[in-house]
């Protein structure tokens, strides 16, 4: 998702009256008030200490069994649930998100931890491959070679403002890195320091209850530009997970690539999530469903539908008219921070001011300090084809409708798109030939393609892809949601001609941990 | 492997008498003579044309069945074998490598193509995951989500000088990219243009015989700094495979990361391949085996053992004495190019001149222009611990013996090492406790660990890892040899709620292509 990546200073003035210990307070986005308590910002020295502690813990954590890691993840889920009401209440104050939304996000977060636990128990996380020795092969015998995937080392995770649970301290990056066997250090998001601290306490408690060393999980509070950059630069950090703005993700990727030992950055960044509507795909509920997907959570989703291709003519006009009516009677919902709300208003107005763009409708501002109106604009497909700025993401409840005369125009527009997290097609089978062609283009543009649905829900499962070609992510070859995401934090190691007693357990002939393994290229034990 | 990455100009003077069409001739490294015929260097315009042709071919090739891709790879193997004698004869002249070695490398190359074909036929290349819809799930139904891995697009491959077959035009990067469904453009190595042309013709013939569009395979000849850089910068190129010097790999990685759309570079670069010998691991043949591994192919292997840890005392002294005797009676073998030979002599002499380093023995120069002597040096473990330059790779038959008093010193030395392709341990079971500790360190340093063997043979199989932490490779999370290497050139795409008729074949419920698939996290059809 593209949105301003808040540094602490922009959310709340740093209080330096305490001398060398700058502190922040969270701002309530509804009232604009600063809340109690104060949170101490971490120092550069603490970044170093935390990273070293993680490196020490790695030496123990990396050798734990899949079963032990699974139990640890489940303990985190239980301990998060135990403070669930506290988490939801505090997150409501810090983010302005609704109780309903946050209760759902919390369930998603604990389900996610349990899904990784289940994958570990199913023996699917080790990447085991065995090519047994062939002593009689000619002209030369084949040695015994066995591969497993091992964890990379301590991982830096950057919490995001729009998912205070599912993409923050106990979120997907943390869960997948822990499942891989990597300690995690979260650079907590400064917009929800209290939520971050509650989640951190629950995870720390789980570390202790699981008999693991403290350094398996750490959290730091401070500005991304200082504390975040130091963390990514630290030699003990071996990978980075990030969800946030394009500029933020690219800045971290640059720091990571310029280290003496470059490390991978998995940054989920920017997407407008185009929706392609064929005339045959216009059932009665498109306007309502689109309105709901657009305004859900004030549009603060990476998968928010920012671009809707709609046919010219009466059926399309009906959609626009219905939509305008819903928008006009809508009121804005509170956005996450004052900075995000301001950036939204500027970006939405800028989109509306581009030549050829007309305003379909705009809602009313909501009550409170940071509740700007939803807005939908309209432009012709001809104009769209010649103005790249029309593809820029507006983080929030603003969308652009692109009106086309012929389905063929959608194909051309799709070819011109940048990488996306999602692309969506609404059509009936009468358009199957065209849809097939469109999907063939969208495969090269997006990580996930949705048929006759909406992109906003990101199911946490085995087959989910939340990622996509640049700039949707910095690494299109993986996903930041779902069990495949564990592979981001692993690397393969081969053991050649090892005696049984020296092999890691999961590579031994008797497979004591019951891992799924590929033997001579055939999968066994599934 | 670290070695000078020859630009055309350093191997043979560019002949510009033909006006705008510069040409090169290959230099025979044994005689130093330039050979017939001349080869035309490609122009920047041809880079663009070749990349566009590949992009067009991609749209067809990416949709071929696993069976069709397997047949294509097997056809390449057959057509390479059909010109096998021509390839070996020409490569002997261009590289100075022996017939025996090249015949073996050719067999390895065709076996590799057939291994990828077999993996495709076994249904193991698609990364299929299916999470079927759960319409009755509460609080919300689960949509049907299906993942497959699709090819990234045209791949640029940089042939290496030391493997004119197995890591060049028809080598591992080409085979794995084609298996993934990606067209390939090889920047042929200027040190063996004739070999490159013969292989290219065999692959082009296979493209035609398989009914595929021409652009599925292309080859370019020219300098890495100009033609290679233009290729990596080209917007239609979506990934890079490289085997060569650290400086060359890093230069390509920089170009790739600075593109408007950054692309992944899989560069296999630099390794000294440490060998740790416990006193218990000193059987009678260590000296002979080490000498053979060191001098094989004039030491021009990425996995050449450049560092040998050996105990102080009589048993270690015996190894050194035997080794010295063998070295003194050895004569140098011709290296690949004059530039590589010169660089070897400088680097070997530089290593010998570092304070505290003593010369164990040096062989004699061989006949011909570029056959420098093998050399082995010795240093104490104390000194080794304080001089990082002792870890610099010397590409060729030079190695450094590090003498230690206690096995504990090997552990400390291992911790201080950079990333490696391989690490090797020689020990008997009496040292199991120490070996276990050492292996625990080496796992974090190397892609492959060998027990009581030598690292020089790289088996092409399913469990092989040829890669490792930086600087051994630019991406430790994968391998450039073995079937796992296909994943470098793929990315996952999820299809949500697609009707059966719109799903790609491999995701359909009836699994018409017989692909291995993970359903609800459990592997089926293996």
What's the average model confidence in pLDDT over A66-93?
A: 98
Are residue B68 and residue B145 in the same domain, yes or no? yes
pLDDT, tens only, A205-257? 999 999 999 999 999 999 999 999 999 999 999 999 999 999 999 999 999 99
User: What's the half-sphere exposure (Cβ side, CA atoms, 13 Å) at B454?
Assistant: 21
Query: B80 CA to chain A: closest CA distance, Å?
Result: 20
This prediction's pTM: 0.95
Q: What would the DSSP string read from start to end of A429-491?
A: GGGHHHHHHHHHHHTTTEEEEEESS-TT----SSS-----TTTTBS-TTS-SSSGGGGGGGEE
Domain span at residue A69 reads 44-269+479-487
Chain A contact for B191 (CB, 8 A cutoff): no
Chain A residue nearest residue B524, CA to CA: A526
Chain B CB within 8 Å of residue A405 CB: no
The mean pLDDT value for A151-173 works out to 97
Q: Do B435 and A498 lie within an 8 Å CB cutoff? A: no
| Residue A17: CB atoms within 10 Å | 7
Which residue in A has a C-alpha nearest to residue B499's C-alpha? Answer: A451
pLDDT at B180 over 90: yes
Q: How far is A448 from chain B (nearest CA, A)?
A: 4
Calpha distance B127→A439 (Å, rounded): 19
Do B300 and B445 have their domain in common? yes
CATH code of the domain in which A386 resides:
3.40.309.10
Mean pLDDT for B233-246 is: 97
* Closest residue of chain B to A441, computed from CA coordinates: B59
pLDDT of B366 strictly over 90: yes
* DSSP run (H or E) holding B495: strand B490-496
Q: What is the pLDDT of residue A284?
A: 76
Q: Where are the alpha helices (DSSP H) in B298-406?
A: 314-328, 338-353, 381-385
Give pLDDT, residue A4: 45
Give the pLDDT of residue A16: 45
Does residue A286 have a pLDDT over 50? yes
Contact A122 B467 (CB under 8 A): no
The torsion region of residue A181 among left (phi > 0), alpha (psi -120 to 50) and beta comes to left
> Would you state the structure tokens that stand for residue B221, as one six-digit string?
């000849």
Q: Are residues A283 and A432 in the same domain?
A: yes
Phi, psi (5° rounding) for residue B354? -70, 140
Nearest CB neighbour to B463, from listed A130, A483, A501: A130
Q: What pLDDT, on the 0 to 100 scale, is given for residue B431?
A: 96
Residue B265, in any domain of the structure: yes
Segment A493-510 mean pLDDT:
97
Residues A265 and A278 in one domain: no
Token pair in block for residue B143: 């949509």
Task: Tell me: do B221 and B106 sit in the same domain.
Answer: yes
Task: Classify residue A139: in a domain, yes or no.
Answer: yes
Binned at pLDDT 50, 70 and 90, residue A9 comes out as very low
Q: Does A449 touch chain B (CB under 8 A)?
A: yes
Active-site residue identified among A74, A94, A182, A302: A302
pLDDT band at B469 (very low <50, low <70, confident <90, very high): very high
Do B362 and B238 fall within a single domain?
no
Are A199 and A82 within 8 A, CB to CB? no
Q: Determine what percent of chain A is predicted with pLDDT higher than 70.
A: 96
Q: What is the pLDDT of residue B368?
A: 85
pLDDT at B9 > cutoff 60? no
Of all residues in chain A, what percent carry a pLDDT higher than 90? 93
Does B432 contact A501 at a Cβ distance shorter than 8 Å? yes
Q: pLDDT tens across B50-60, in order?
A: 999 999 999 99
Is A514 a member of any domain? no
Residues B73 and B191 in one domain: yes
Question: For residue A227, is it within any domain?
Answer: yes
CATH code for the domain in which residue A95 is found: 3.40.605.10
Distance from CA of A342 to the nearest CA of B (A): 28
For residue B139, whether the previous peptide bond is cis, meaning omega lies within 30 degrees of 0, is yes
Q: pLDDT value at position B418?
A: 95
Cβ contact B465–A492 (<8 Å): yes
Q: Return the closest-CA partner of residue B362 out of B373, B347, B349.
A: B373
Q: Is the pLDDT of residue B484 over 50?
A: yes
Instruction: Give the number of domains in chain A.
Output: 2
Whole-number pLDDT of residue B187: 98
Mark which residues 38-57 of A lie under 8 Å from B by CB.
none
Same domain, B246 and B132: yes
On whether both A338 and A227 belong to a single domain, the answer is no
Q: pLDDT at residue B330 above 80?
A: yes
Nearest to B122 among A140, A492, A522 (CB): A522
ipTM exceeding 0.90, yes/no: yes
Average pLDDT in chain A? 94
* Residue pairs spanning A and B at CB distance below 8 A: 221
The predicted pLDDT at position A20 comes to 60
Q: Has residue B2 got a pLDDT over 70?
A: no
pLDDT at B12 over 50: no
pLDDT tens digits for range A398-407: 999 999 999 9
DSSP annotation of B224: I
| A391 is an active site residue | no
Catalytic residues of B: 268, 302
Tell me what the mean pLDDT of segment A163-182 comes to.
98
User: Contact B118/A521, CB-based, under 8 Å?
Assistant: yes
The answer to whether residue A189 sits within a structural domain is yes
The verdict on whether A381 is a catalytic residue reads no
Whether residue A434 is found in the same domain as residue A331: yes
Residues of chain B in contact with residue A112, where contact means CB-CB under 8 angstroms, are none
Chain B positions touching A457 (Cβ under 8 A) are 140, 143
pLDDT at A524: 84
Strand B490-496 to A145-151 pairing: unpaired
pLDDT tens digits, residue range B136-179? 998 899 999 999 999 999 999 998 999 999 999 999 999 999 99
H or E segment to which residue B266 belongs: strand B265-268
Q: Give contacts of B142 with chain A, Cβ < 8 Å.
A: 459, 461
* Assigned domain for A295 exists: yes
Note the pLDDT of residue A410: 97
Report strand pairing: B265-268 vs A446-451. Answer: unpaired
Instruction: Name the band, by pLDDT with cuts 50, 70 and 90, for residue A368.
Output: confident
Question: What percent of chain B lies above the pLDDT cut of 70?
Answer: 96
A159 pLDDT higher than 60: yes
- B238 and B294 share a domain? no
Contact flag A492-B479 (C-beta cutoff 8 Å): yes
Shared domain check, A137 and A77: yes
* The pLDDT of residue B11 is above 80: no
Tens-digit pLDDT profile for residues A22-54: 999 999 999 999 999 999 999 999 999 999 999
What mean pLDDT, rounded, does chain B reach?
94
Confidence of residue B20 (pLDDT cuts 50, 70, 90): low
Taking residues B91-99, report their average pLDDT: 96
pLDDT of residue B21: 76
Question: Is A152–B449 a contact, with Cβ atoms under 8 angstroms apart?
Answer: no
Touching check for B497 and chain A: CB below 8 Å?
A: yes
Q: Is residue A371 part of a domain?
A: yes
Q: Hey, is the C-beta of A474 within 8 angstroms of any chain B C-beta?
A: yes
Range list of β-strands (E), A25-71:
39-40
Given CB atoms, is B421 within the 8 Å cutoff of chain A?
Answer: no
Question: Does A104 score more than 50 pLDDT?
Answer: yes
Decide if pLDDT at B284 tops 80: no
Alpha-carbon torsion (A517, A520, A521, A526), positive or negative: negative
Whether B306 is covered by a domain: the verdict is yes
Residue A18 clears pLDDT 90, i.e. is over it: no
């Amino acid at each position: 998702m593209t949105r301003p990546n808040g540094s602490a200073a922009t959310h709340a003035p740093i209080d330096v009256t305490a001398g060398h210990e700058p502190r922040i307070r969270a701002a309530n986005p509804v009232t604009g008030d600063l809340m109690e308590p104060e949170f101490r910002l971490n120092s550069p020295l603490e970044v170093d200490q935390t990273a070293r502690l993680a490196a020490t813990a790695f030496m123990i954590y990396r050798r734990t069994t899949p079963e032990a890691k699974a139990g640890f993840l489940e303990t985190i889920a239980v301990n998060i649930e135990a403070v669930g009401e506290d988490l939801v209440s505090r997150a409501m104050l810090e983010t302005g998100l609704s109780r309903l939304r946050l209760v759902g996000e919390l369930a998603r977060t604990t389900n996610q931890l349990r899904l990784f636990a289940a994958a570990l128990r199913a023996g699917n996380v080790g990447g085991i491959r065995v090519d047994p020795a062939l002593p009689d092969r000619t002209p030369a015998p084949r040695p015994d070679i066995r591969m497993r995937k091992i964890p990379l080392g301590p991982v830096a995770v950057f919490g995001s403002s729009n998912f205070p649970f599912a993409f923050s301290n106990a979120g997907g990056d943390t869960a997948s890195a822990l499942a891989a066997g990597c300690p995690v250090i979260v650079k907590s998001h400064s917009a929800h320091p209290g939520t971050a601290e509650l989640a951190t306490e629950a995870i720390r408690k789980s570390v202790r209850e699981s008999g693991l060393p403290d350094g398996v999980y750490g959290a730091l509070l401070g500005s991304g530009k200082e504390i975040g950059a130091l963390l990514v630069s630290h030699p003990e950090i071996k990978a980075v997970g990030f969800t946030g703005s394009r500029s933020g993700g690219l800045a971290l990727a640059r720091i990571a690539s310029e280290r003496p030992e470059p490390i991978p950055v998995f940054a989920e960044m920017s997407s407008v999530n185009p929706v392609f509507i064929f005339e045959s795909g216009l059932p009665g509920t498109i306007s309502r469903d689109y309105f709901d997907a657009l305004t859900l959570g004030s549009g603060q989703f990476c998968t928010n539908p920012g671009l809707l291709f709609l046919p010219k003519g009466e059926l399309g006009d009906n959609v626009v008219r219905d939509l305008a009516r819903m928008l006009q009677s809508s009121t804005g919902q509170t956005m996450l921070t004052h900075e995000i709300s301001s950036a939204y208003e500027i970006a939405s107005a800028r989109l509306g001011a581009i030549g050829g763009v007309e305003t379909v409708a705009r809602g009313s501002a909501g009550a409170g300090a940071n509740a700007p109106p939803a807005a939908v604009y309209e432009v012709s497909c001809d104009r769209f084809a010649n103005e790249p700025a029309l593809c820029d993401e507006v983080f929030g409840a603003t969308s652009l409708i692109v009106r086309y005369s012929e389905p063929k125009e959608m194909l051309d527009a799709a070819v011109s798109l940048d990488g996306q997290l999602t692309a969506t097609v609404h059509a009936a089978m009468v358009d199957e030939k065209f849809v097939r062609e469109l999907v063939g283009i969208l495969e090269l543009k997006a990580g996930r393609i949705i048929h006759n649905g909406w992109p906003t829900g990101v199911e946490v499962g085995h087959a989910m892809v939340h990622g996509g070609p640049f700039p949707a992510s910095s690494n299109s070859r993986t996903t930041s949601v779902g069990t495949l995401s564990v592979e981001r934090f692993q690397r393969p190691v081969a053991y050649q001609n090892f005696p049984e007693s020296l092999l890691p357990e999961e590579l031994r002939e008797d497979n004591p941990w019951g891992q799924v393994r590929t033997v001579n290229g055939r999968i066994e034990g599934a």
